[in-house]
Copies of this chain bind each other. A is one copy, B any other.
Amino acid sequence: MLNPDRYFDPAPDVRDLARELYGRAARLPLVCPHGHVDPRLLAENTPFPDPAALLVIPDHYLTRMLYSQGVPLEALGVPSLDGTPVETDSRRIWRRFAEHMPLFRGTPSGCWLRHELADVFGVDEPLSARNADAVYDRIDAQLRTDAFRPRALFERFRIEVLCTTDSATDTLAWHQQIRDSGWTGVVRPTFRPDLAINILHPEWPAEMDRLAALTGRSIVDYRTYIGALEARRTFFRGMGATATDHAALTPYTSRLSDHDASAIFARARAGEATPADLAAFTGHMLMEMARMSVEDGLVMQLHPGSLRNHNAAVFERFGPDRGCDIPVATEYTRNLQPLLNAYGNDPRFRLVLFTLDESTYSRELAPLAGHYPALRLGPPWWFHDSLEGMQRFRHAVTETAGFYNTAGFNDDTRAFPSIPARHDLCRRVDANFLAGLVARHVLELDEAQELIVELGYGLAKATYRLP
């Protein structure tokens, strides 16, 4: 069912080259420098519960599409925050999902799922209403075996390193448990201080309390706050982190004077900060995070441009990360000028930029990455992590930024068993892109052979400073 030439250009010359290039990348270990797998999975290593709980309920790529066609999230077992009853029968959820498989035609979710079913679970027939129960039973039975526990899959997937994403005040206890277990799988945390910086978030005061408790310091003012964040970065580095990650509605950066930063921080602690304070403080803290990265060597990732929780009704009932985050146009050239002027020429600094606004690929991101030594372009993000999206990225950025200013692949997923499918899709797209360049005599074959290994393996390690 999985055609060995899938995703390649059907023109025979290109297909043959793509096949040969893909062959050089297909079995390389997986480097996963950015993602959202819960480290508890690998710490506890208990079996996954059932097919729906593993593959459907937590995957907002799937549930949003069904929701868009009238299937209530309740019927898909998405847990509600407000006590609304939701479906709890996993088999019924699975059947509902299977009935709607045509919705995923032509989508990356459809491609990943097909790969996952075939390659991880040996299910070669397309999932449909007709075979829903049989497929459920087959997967369910496998999930009860040791070979399908998280660590076994990690090894079977040939994951060389998996980086998680962790709040600045995460104790990293699950990471510690993994280290203590004697298991040889490499799992690294990533420092993501979004909540600690979001001075208007209702949870921010509690986050400050956690920050104080974990660092054994009173967070009495801006100076002690910065010190506590630096201490947490040091702790994360000690636990193996090589990177930080930052979300923001815009990539606005601008350094405040110590006086102004201190004043905003004091207002925030007093519960008197304004939206303008938040914007100024966020722009300042990105500068501070870059400054700290220069000093401690953690690679800085920036993911801007998503307007979170667009649908208030869904957010209120089901909370965040339910497929209701919608991109907005994003400006990088002016917004990042202060940060890049301050740190972009420094060889110690590394910034990996992402976007949901593809119009910036050729207009802003590739020209910036083709100039500033500190900058690398992250792979196509979220909606664009797809067959077409990855092609558009390579077509739009390569001529201006080259290959070596791009960061390799991120699977960026919480869906652990989809990891091989995602890397495989990317390696196929890259192989096909390189094949097209060879077929048009832009590249020599030996250059493409070297590049496919870089794109599928080497650049991710180098970009994220992974040993």
Contacts and interface: CB of A to CB of B under 8 A. Distances in A.
Interface in A299-321: 307, 310-314
Contacts of A373: 67-70
A74 interface: no
Given A10-B11, A64-B370, A126-B444, A347 B313 contact: no
Interface stretch (A200-208, A220-228, A231-239, A381-389): A381-389
Given A327-B363, A399-B387, A399-B388, A14 B6 contact: no
Interface in A340-362: 340-341, 344-345, 347, 356-359, 362
A105 B447 CA distance: 8
Interface in A361-405: 362-364, 366-373, 375, 383-384, 386-389, 395-396, 398-405
Contact of A404 (B103, B370, B436, B437): B103
A311 B341 contact: yes
A170 interface: no
B345 A311 contact: yes
Interface stretch (A21-29, A106-114, A209-217, A408-416): A106-114
A337 B312 CA distance: 9
Contacts of A103: 402, 404
Interface in A94-136: 102-108, 110-111, 126
Contact of A311 (B14, B64, B372): B372
Contacts of A173: none
A367 B337 CA distance: 29
A13 interface: yes
A333 to B, nearest CB: 5
Nearest to A7: B440
A364 B68 contact: no
A356 B102 CA distance: 29
A388 B395 contact: yes
Interface string A143-158: 0000000000000000
Nearest to A346: B313
Contacts of A111: 442
A105 B433 CA distance: 13
A402 B387 CA distance: 13
Interface string A46-63: 000000000000000000
Contacts of A77: none
A399 B313 contact: no
A241 to B, nearest CB: 24
A345 B64 CA distance: 12
18 contacts: A6-B440, A7-B440, A64-B370, A64-B371, A65-B402, A68-B405, A69-B404, A70-B347, A106-B437, A311-B340, A311-B344, A323-B371, A325-B367, A327-B364, A327-B367, A357-B359, A362-B389, A383-B399
A-B pairs, 8 with minimum CB distance: A6-B441, A10-B439, A3-B441, A359-B359, A386-B399, A10-B13, A106-B398, A383-B400
Interface of A: 3, 5-11, 13-14, 64-65, 67-70, 102-108, 110-111, 126, 307, 310-314, 323-329, 331, 333-334, 337, 340-341, 344-345, 347, 356-359, 362-364, 366-373, 375, 383-384, 386-389, 395-396, 398-405, 436-437, 439-444, 447, 450-451
Given A310-B340, A326-B364, 13 more contacts: A3-B441, A68-B375, A69-B404, A105-B402, A106-B398, A106-B437, A307-B333, A311-B341, A329-B359, A329-B363, A357-B359, A358-B359, A359-B363
